[in-house]
Amino acid sequence: MANCDLCVVRNRAICAALDAEELEALNAIGRTRTLKAGESIIWEGEDSVLVANVIDGVLKLSTNTEDGREQIVGVVYPSDFIGRPFGGTTEYGVTALVDSQVCVFSRRDFDAFARTHPALEHKLLERTLGELDRTRRWMLLLGRKSAAEKMTSFLVEMVERLGCRTDACKPGERLLTLPFSRQQIADVLGLTIETVSRQFSRLKNEGVIDLPSRRDVTIVDYQALVAEAG
């Protein structure tokens, strides 16, 4: 495993609470793993056997309905934590949307480490409460917001989590490469793919965004996007 000091999410992940000696001990029980787009690392309904920090990439959390349909229930980004510490059954699968890299720990080894390092347990609690807040906001988005508000809220979150991916962005612009297909965006937001396509076209026609390609989105007027998201 690479040295934790060289990790690009070192100061944002849960291990940010650890000192050099503690990092060395954590480093000894972890390993890095590369995931190809579409590759799963955790499966719904199985015992929790591993946990991980996301180093690079974007992964989806998903569950399946009784008739076999997939529902995306969350998305994780670099510095996010995945898995269920301290036992239990995993309630959702975790799959890479794009090529990704994660720092993986045996759940039992991680649990033992966390119990003897209160600062790490505290970070885990902070992350759990933060995830609860995001879940409540998502319930509001799905239950009360219009299709236009859902789309703009989704794009605002992408900007906040993925940012501008190139120095070529003009002042005020933010360029995103979405890790989702149009159908996946529809599934996440509880919309039809036709509605998603109409909203993209509307935002482009209004000069809020530009669409240089199927997956690339340029945010031309970020403040207008935020205002419409509510």
**Max alpha carbon distance in the chain (Å)?**
56
pTM: 0.77
Residue 155, H or E segment = helix 147-162
Residuewise pLDDT in 10s, the chain (230 residues): 456 767 788 778 888 778 888 888 888 898 999 999 999 999 998 888 999 999 999 999 888 877 877 778 888 888 888 988 887 888 889 999 889 999 999 999 989 998 888 888 888 888 777 777 777 776 666 667 888 988 998 898 888 877 654 444 455 567 888 888 888 888 888 889 999 999 999 999 999 999 998 888 999 998 999 999 87
In 13-128, which ranges are E strands?
Answer: 30-35, 40-42, 50-56, 59-64, 70-76, 81-83, 93-96, 100-106
Q: Where do the domains of the chain lie, and which CATH numbers do they carry? A: 4-141 (2.60.120.10), 146-229 (1.10.10.10)
